[in-house]
Structure 1
Amino acid sequence: MKTMKLEIVTPSGLIYEGDVKMVTLPGKEGEFGVLPEHASLVSLLDAGVITVETADGKEIMIAINHGYVKVDEGKVSCIVDGAVLISDEEGKLSERMAEAKELLQKAQTSDMAIAAAVSKVESIKKSY
């Protein structure tokens, strides 16, 4: 399967960079997926969870508060104000879940978007 480059950057630096099969993003108008060779676009991102399917089939989730994304045929660049990489590394999951929930609850967006994003983070915790 084809892959594309994904980078997620905050003012503090690079949060994620790698080759991915697919990325699902929390757009301002709703969640949308991007596959390799997607048409070019620029979109606002709302508080939520970016879901990444890596080139080796792993799933990674990154909680964000807001930002924007630029999509080209071979690259997706997300510029966000705040982000927390959620991982299943031993001892890190509950710490990162708390950070992710705090980040989302501080987001200045609609209460419904925040509630949906926090719910998604809590469901991630239950699946591990």
Structure 2
Amino acid sequence: MSALMVSIVTPYGKIFDGSVTSITLPGVEGEFGVIEGHSDLLSLLKTGVIEIIRGEQRDLVAINWGYAKVQSQQVDVLVDGAVLISEHKGDIAMAIENAKKLLEDSSNDKIAISGVVSKIDNMVKGK
């Protein structure tokens, strides 16, 4: 089985580029998951968290807004602002604080933001 290739890019450069098992994106019409073989689509993304699964590893990318182009073996994500929260890279506490700030600065919807922040906190506590 071939892998799904994912690229997440901001105006400042790539946040993530690699092969994944699955990815979940915060579309404006609701969250949606993508695995290899997915139908082609283009979606506007809202403030939220992208969840990346690579085997046993799970990473989160907090975003303020963007676009996703999904093809059967490739997902290209262009976002205005993003923070990668990875258990395997650097200072996770600093990444979480940066992600929370990005999310809170990007929306006035406090209920939606608290749900996203809770998802980030649960990822850290779940390990």
Q: After superposition, where does 1:21-40 map in structure 2 within 5 Å?
A: 21-40=21-40
Q: After superposition, where does 1:48-67 map in structure 2 within 5 Å?
A: 48-54=48-54, 56-67=55-66
Partners of 2:58 and 2:86 within 8 A in 1: no
Partners of 1:46 and 1:109 within 8 A in 2: no
Partners of 1:47 and 1:109 within 8 A in 2: no
Instruction: Specify the code of the residue in structure 2 equivalent to 1:4.
Output: L
Post-superposition CA distance 1:11-70 (Å, at most 9, x none): 00000000111000111111110010100000011111111111x431111111110100
Q: How many angstroms does 1:109 deviate by?
A: 5.9
Q: After superposition, where does 1:2-41 map in structure 2 within 5 Å?
A: 2-41=2-41
TM-score normalised according to structure 1 size = 0.90
Alpha carbons of 1:109 and 1:68: their partners in 2 closer, same or farther (altered >3 Å)?
A: farther
Instruction: Name the Cα RMSD after superposition.
Output: 1.6
CA distance in structure 2 between the partners assigned to 1:90 and 1:21 by the alignment: 19
Q: What SS class does the counterpart of residue 102 from structure 1 fall into? A: helix
Find out whether 1:112 has 2:116 as its counterpart.
no
Q: After superposition, where does 1:52-91 map in structure 2 within 5 Å?
A: 52-54=52-54, 56-89=55-88
Q: How many angstroms does 1:88 deviate by?
A: 1.9
TM-score normalised according to structure 2 size = 0.91
Aligned length: 127
* Further displaced range: 80-89 or 92-101: 80-89
Structure 1 residues without counterparts, runs of 5 or longer: none
Q: How many angstroms does 1:90 deviate by?
A: 7.3
Moved over 4 A (4+): none
Structure 2 residues without counterparts, runs of 5 or longer: none
